[in-house]
Amino acid sequence: MYLYVIRHGLTEWNVEKKLLSYTDIPLNEIGIKQCQEAEKLVKNLDYDIVFCSPKLRTKMTLEIINSKNIPVIYDDRLVERDAGDLEGIDVNSFDYESYWTLGKDVLKNSENIIKCQNRVYELLDEIKNKYKDKNVLIVTHNGVCRMIYTYFNGYPRRKNISNKGQGNAEIKIYELK
């Protein structure tokens, strides 16, 4: 069983280096083009079902890349980590590495990293058990991509994972056993 994980295409807030979580903004023109390029790869993947975050930027990504019209399940557990009061702030204006360091305190009422990790792990365990004979495409956000990375790589709890995400419209492949 394979998981194909794609992060949404570029948004204006990504360009402006603003921390983006719950704010629902669309892809920009570059993001749309990134997804059109990614679709060329996705159409050659063998997947049976799609899980997608219900945010606009992931839905737009999915609309472009899912040319096979595979059934979609929208799941809130794939929504980006809640940034709380850090939402919309330039990532260079606060301790971004601490924000993505497992075991650090929550910053500015943001979602606890362990809580985020637990909801993503719960979904991955559910997929593993319920869809064990299927290949799954997941369309999500960078923070969730980081959590998926830790699920498969056993990343130590006290380590920084700020560099373990994915680029916009980048696809990573994981094998679930």
Q: In angstroms, rounded to a whole number, what is the distance separating the alpha carbons of residues 111 and 15?
A: 23
Q: Which residues of 9-38 are buried (b: 16+ CB within 10 A; e: fewer)?
A: bbbebbeeebbbbebeeebbebbbebbeeb
Are the C-beta atoms of 65 and 42 separated by less than 8 Å? yes
- 146 closest CA partner among 176, 128, 175, 167: 167
Where in the sequence numbering do the catalytic residues fall? 8, 80
For tokens 């601490």, the residue is 98
- 139 closest CA partner among 40, 13, 38, 46: 38
